[in-house]
């Protein structure tokens, strides 16, 4: 028998919360698994409190509209990424990591994260 997936069920799930500094000042909080679930505030702690209210409002609206709601699935993201890159790029990354005094994984993680954050900020700014 399927359990009824209601507001209480979805509210209790451990959704990932993202909080980033806003270029305009303050912070912006989102729940990536719930597209459009967003809030903002002056401090990170304020945003952390407010994102829970935003999550409940988002879930209520989705349930009222009969929309499907994604559940967090941490098992599908194990932190491993196998990637084939050109030897020349591998060399540049390794040399950069050595120069910065970090290992190659740390360097690649930093670069991906920096680029992704910049990309997400740009996409947020282009929304009309």
- Rg of the chain over Cα atoms, rounded to whole angstroms, equals 19
More reliable by pLDDT, 71 or 124: 71
Where in the chain are the domains? 1-78, 79-128
More reliable by pLDDT, 120 or 98: 98
Provide the pLDDT for residue 90: 93
CATH, domain range 79-128: 1.10.1220
Q: DSSP E strands: which ranges in 9-126?
A: 18-21, 27-30, 38-41
Which pLDDT tens digit goes with each residue over 66-116? Answer: 999 999 876 666 777 778 889 999 999 999 999 998 888 888 888 888 888
Q: Is the pLDDT of residue 128 over 70?
A: no
CATH, domain range 1-78: 3.30.160.250
């Amino acid at each position: 028998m399927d359990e009824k997936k209601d507001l209480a069920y979805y509210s209790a799930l451990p959704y990932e919360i993202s909080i980033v500094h806003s270029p305009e000042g303050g912070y912006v909080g989102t729940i990536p698994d719930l597209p459009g679930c967003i809030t903002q505030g002056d401090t990170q702690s304020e945003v952390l409190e407010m994102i829970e209210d935003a999550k409940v409002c988002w879930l209520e609206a989705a349930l009222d509209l009969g929309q499907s709601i994604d559940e967090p699935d941490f098992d599908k993201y194990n932190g491993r990424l196998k990637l084939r890159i050109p030897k020349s790029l591998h060399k540049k990354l390794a040399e950069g990591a050595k120069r910065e005094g970090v290992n190659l994984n740390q360097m690649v993680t930093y670069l991906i994260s920096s680029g992704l954050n910049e990309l997400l900020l740009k996409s947020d700014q282009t929304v009309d």
